Amino acid sequence: MFEIPQKSKEEKLAKLSVEQIDQLKIINDETIANFKGDLTQLESALGMLHIGHHLGWKVLYIIHSKRTIRNYETILGIKIRDIFPETGPSSYRSNGYRAAEAFSNFWKVVGGEFKIENRKQVD
């Protein structure tokens, strides 16, 4: 469907500053220490926290519903648009993101106005 550039492992990964690494550790530790509720939700929210810099918040909005994003933000005590870049070094690998880029309005894709097959897949 779309040509995917070949990149090395290093080019696919975000290069985080010491401050960003410290921030993620604080969020991670505070969330685990204070969490009450369904552990599968905690696990999923922490997973989003750890891939957000690599994919960017746009990909997160494509693979999750707005409701799920809000739930994970509540669990983590963050706003993903404040923590993660719009796109990360691995954004291009997301089938959903590549398809959304072909449409004129990203938020219509996120809102479900345009259906994207395999939007949660990565190549």
User: Read out DSSP for the chain?
Assistant: --------HHHHS----HHHHHHHHHHHHHHHHH--S-HHHHHHHHHHHHHHHHH-HHHHHHHS-HHHHHHHHHHHT--HHHHS-SS-TTGGGBHHHHHHHHSS-HHHHHTTSS--TTTT-B-
Question: How does residue 122 score in pLDDT terms, banded at 50, 70 and 90?
Answer: low
| Of the candidates 18, 32, 7, the residue with the CA atom closest to the CA atom of residue 93 | 7
d(CA 107, CA 61): 9
Q: Which of 12, 120, 20 is nearest to 78 (CA)?
A: 20
Query: What predicted TM-score, i.e. pTM, was given to this entire model?
Result: 0.83
Q: pLDDT by residue (tens digit) across 1-57?
A: 567 888 999 999 999 999 999 999 999 999 999 999 999 999 999 999 999 999 999
Compute the distance between CA of residue 109 and CA of residue 100 in angstroms, rounded to an integer. Answer: 6
**What's the pLDDT tens digit per position in 39-49?**
999 999 999 99
